[in-house]
Amino acid sequence: LYVEQPLGEGQTVPLSREQAHYLFSVMRLGVGDPVGVFDGHTGEWLARIADAGKRDGALVCETRTKPLRLPPDLWLLFAPIKKARTDFIVEKAAEMGAARICPVQTDFTNAERIRRDRLQAHAVEAAEQCGGTFVPEVCDLQRLSDVLDAWPEGRRLMFCDEMLAGAGAALGDAARGPWAILIGPEGGFSDAERARLRSLPFAHPVSLGPRVLRADTAAVAALTVWQQALGD
Ligand code: SAM
């Protein structure tokens, strides 16, 4: 269970209505039962249910059971698509160890806005279900051109481009360190975007094979390729 407040030995953790419902009604737990909790900063802790009400409750934190495991310094930049597919991308990126998930508006992106809080909740659920001790941050929607203008020094970009048709750079020899993956929208990148992306010194154009993948498939494939070559 993910909680926002920092955990420590003997710490009382109040439960939200949703958490109380999940623990007491769905999981049928009660006072004295153990629960694994994490705050995203201090690892995983064993806590016990101290109070179980209808709409609230509390845990008391006992001992640390897992150290914090930070994911590699990898961002996923993607152009949001239909709601369910965007949810899927956020969920899979959290499971596959992205540290930051950044929806970006490109020339051919349809979405004008995103529900950041909803996407962040998906990232929390994914981290809970895969036993992680860290929750990736979901950023607000930004323009891709603005993100590229303010690109942080030393971070490399795996630019996934279906137009490379199997001819992109391999990541095998690329340096470790901070990276970002970029996946385009359903309509792909515009010619102007592609020209800019190909000219950036920090960008590595990568092909994910000769087939044009749907953006959500491409996101999972790119995360897998990156983790295989440069992850831990
Ligand atoms: N422009 C394309 C079209 O309309 O035919 C489709 C774009 S594709 C659905 C969405 C994104 O997935 C692309 O912008 C790219 O980032 C990524 N992608 C899909 N297939 C890929 C491949 N074979 N290699 C690299 N990236 C790929």
The angle that helices 83-95 and 116-129 make with each other, rounded to 10 degrees, is 40
Among residues 136, 161, 21, which one has the least CA distance to residue 75? 136
Distance CA 95, CA 183 (A): 17
What CATH number does residue 186 fall under? 3.40.1280.10
Whether residue 45 sits in one domain with residue 140: no
Q: What is the CATH number of the domain that holds 19?
A: 2.40.240.20
Q: Is the CB of 165 under 6 A from ligand 1?
A: no
**What is the domain range of residue 42?**
12-66
For residue 62, report the distance from its CA to the centre of ligand 1, in Å. 48
Which residue from 89, 105, 212 has its CB within 8 A of the most atoms of ligand 1, so it is best to mutate?
212
**Nearest residue (CA) to ligand 1, atom 27:** 162
**pLDDT value for 174:** 83
Burial 99-121 (b: 16+ CB within 10 A, else e): bbbbbbbbbebeeeebeeeebbb
122 within some domain = yes
ipTM of the complex: 0.96
Query: Among the three residues 43, 66, 89, which one is the final residue of a domain in this structure?
Result: 66
194 plus 95 within the same structural domain:
yes
Task: Judge if the beta carbon of residue 187 lies within 6 A of ligand 1.
Answer: yes
Q: Is residue 83 part of a domain?
A: yes
Same domain, 126 and 179: yes
| CA–centroid distance, residue 232 to ligand 1 (Å) | 26
Query: Is residue 76 within 6 Å of ligand 1 at its C-beta?
Result: no
State the Cα torsion 147-40-126-139 to the nearest 10°.
Answer: -20
Q: Are residues 40 and 126 in the same domain?
A: no
Atom 10 of ligand 1 has which residue's CA nearest to it?
A: 215
44 forms beta bridges with 38, 66
The per-residue pLDDT for range 71-93, each reduced to its tens digit, is 899 999 999 988 889 999 999 99
Q: Cα-flanking dihedrals φ and ψ of residue 217, to 5°? A: -65, -45
Q: 3-state SS string over 119-147?
A: HHHHHHHHHHHCCCCCCCEECCCEEHHHH
What is the pTM (predicted TM-score) of this model? 0.90
Please indicate, yes or no, if residue 166 is contained in any of the structural domains: yes
| Orientation angle between helical segments 215-230 and 83-95, nearest 10 degrees | 10
- What is the band of 97 on the pLDDT scale with cuts at 50, 70, 90? very high
Indicate if 55 and 122 belong to the same structural domain. no
**Residue 7 included in any domain:** no
Tens-place pLDDT, residues 11-47: 999 999 999 999 999 999 999 999 999 998 999 999 9
Question: How many domains does one find in the chain?
Answer: 2
Q: Are residues 58 and 111 in the same domain?
A: no
The verdict on 127 and 186 lying in the same domain is yes
Assess whether 145 and 213 both reside in one domain.
yes
Instruction: For ligand 1, say whether the CB of 218 is within 6 Å of any of its atoms.
Output: yes
* Tokens matching residue 175: 């340096």
Whether 169 has a pLDDT exceeding 90, the answer reads no
